[in-house]
Amino acid sequence: MTTVYTVDSIPGDGIGREVVPAAIRCIDEVARIEGFEVTWRERDWGSDRYLADGAMMPADGIDQLADGDGIFLGAVGQPGIPDHVTLWGLLIPIRRSFMQYVNLRPVRLLPGVEARVSGAEKLDAVVVRENVEGEYSEIGGRAYDGRPEGMAIQQSVFTHAGVSRVAEFAADLAVRRSGRLISATKSNGILHAMPFWDEVVEETVSRSGTVELESVLIDALAARVVLRPDSIDVIVASNLFGDILSDLLAAVAGSIGVAPSANLNPPREHPSMFEPVHGSAPDIAGKGIANPVGQMWAGALMLEHLGEEQAAKRLVIAFEAALADGIRTADLAGTASTLDFTEAVIERLRSAA
């Protein structure tokens, strides 16, 4: 019997609606080659829905996703709607309801992509970002709005369980790679939360025995990403630090348009979610020129998570081959459209089958 996966696709806003269909075509093609099927449940959730109904997704949206095998997201965000409304109305509730506590962001220099800084030619790193607590918290408030006394307070939340499980995931990953793990910290300035982070990371990683752990202050680490990118393998970081570092690494690797991200629920009690690192790119939306590689690579991470490693490999090899052959979108100084690039990937999938 053919294996069938049920995946919810949420193209969302802007270029999400261009790169998600592009990646789905490629995933369907590898599925055909490898002999499995994906049933896509397309959700028209996002900013248009918010403007029409006042909510980014239906009230029972989370329940609708709960029995699926995965979630394939484009991006959310539209000019005219505050970004915290779109983010907290869809993305963050999914991450938190499904305990997707690991945000995995691999970065490496893809073939045919020019390195932006020297040393990036050999860049091959993974950011393991804490994804459900930390600096992105609902705890806090505002007072005296619009007056000189106006103020805002935002609390960070770091729990032993939250830090140790993400550190454990990162340590396991480091064991399978170089054996080296960098923890991003700021324990000199952030007086309570970051020394706690350091202690729990150290305690957790020491249990794995073989991993060599290096704690690096976030500001120095940011500089190191630019100055010595090849000295980095696996990074474990809090929600905010991981968010910033992964964009920085993606930029160093050539373009934010190629970077993927997996929001994982490692115990597999709930569906995991796969998306590119980039946003809805309103500046180029509707022009058909968005780079679909980040979305395709996110699709490969999803296939890997589903246990379809062979299919994941085929997809990565195909988009790398297209890039290596000089087929590139404008963000990589090429002239290919989203469609041209997608056709090129499908052609290579077919000829390699």
User: Cβ 279 to Mg ion, closest distance in Å?
Assistant: 8
CA distances from 228 to 121, 241, 245, 256 (A): 11, 18, 14, 19
> Is residue 281 near ligand NAI by the rule CB under 6 A?
yes
User: Cβ 244 to Mg ion, closest distance in Å?
Assistant: 7
**Region 22-81 residues binding Mg ion, contact defined as CB under 5 A:** none
In the list Mg ion, ligand NAI, none, the entry touching 11 (Cβ below 5 to 8 angstroms by class) is none
> Is residue 18 near ligand NAI by the rule CB under 6 A?
no
- Phi, psi for 59 (deg, rounded to 5): -60, -35
User: Cβ 3 to ligand NAI, closest distance in Å?
Assistant: 29
Q: How far apart are CA 316 and CA 30, in angstroms?
A: 11
Piece of 150-158, 165-173, 211-219, 280-288 that binds ligand NAI (CB under 6 A): 280-288
User: Cβ 280 to ligand NAI, closest distance in Å?
Assistant: 4
Q: Which position among 239, 246, 280, 342 is part of the footprint of ligand NAI (CB under 6 A)?
A: 280
In the list ligand NAI, Mg ion, none, the entry touching 104 (Cβ below 5 to 8 angstroms by class) is none
Structure tokens at 100: 């997707």
User: Cβ 220 to ligand NAI, closest distance in Å?
Assistant: 25
> Is residue 275 near Mg ion by the rule CB under 5 A?
no
Q: How far apart are CA 12 and CA 85, in angstroms?
A: 14
| Shorter beta-carbon distance to ligand NAI: residue 83 or 212 | 83
| Shorter beta-carbon distance to Mg ion: residue 27 or 258 | 258
User: Cβ 335 to Mg ion, closest distance in Å?
Assistant: 28
In the list ligand NAI, Mg ion, none, the entry touching 130 (Cβ below 5 to 8 angstroms by class) is none
**With CB under 6 A, what is the number of residues at the site for ligand NAI?**
21
Q: Which position among 13, 130, 243, 304 is part of the footprint of Mg ion (CB under 5 A)?
A: 243
User: Cβ 26 to ligand NAI, closest distance in Å?
Assistant: 15
> Is residue 290 near ligand NAI by the rule CB under 6 A?
yes
**Region 203-262 residues binding ligand NAI, contact defined as CB under 6 A:** 256-257
> Is residue 130 near Mg ion by the rule CB under 5 A?
no
Give the 3-state DSSP-derived string for the chain, with helices as H, strands as E and coil as C: CCEEEEEEEEEECCCHHHHHHHHHHHHHHHHHHHCEEEEEEECCCCHHHHHHHCCCCCCCHHHHHHCCCEEEEEECCCCCCCHHHHHHHHHHHHHHHCCCCEEEEEEECCCCCCCCCCCHHHCEEEEEEECCCECCCCCEEEECCCCCCCEEEECCECCHHHHHHHHHHHHHHHHHCCCEEEEEECCCCCCCHHHHHHHHHHHHHHHCCCCEEEEEEHHHHHHHHHHCHHHCCEEEECHHHHHHHHHHHHHHCCCHHHCEEEEECCCCCCCCEEEECCCCCCCCCCCCCCCCHHHHHHHHHHHHHCCCHHHHHHHHHHHHHHHHCCCCCHHHCCCCCHHHHHHHHHHHHHHHC
User: Cβ 108 to ligand NAI, closest distance in Å?
Assistant: 17
In the list Mg ion, ligand NAI, none, the entry touching 243 (Cβ below 5 to 8 angstroms by class) is Mg ion
Interface with Mg ion by CB under 5 A: which residues?
243
Interface with ligand NAI by CB under 6 A: which residues?
15, 19, 75-77, 83, 91, 256-257, 275, 278-284, 290-291, 294, 331
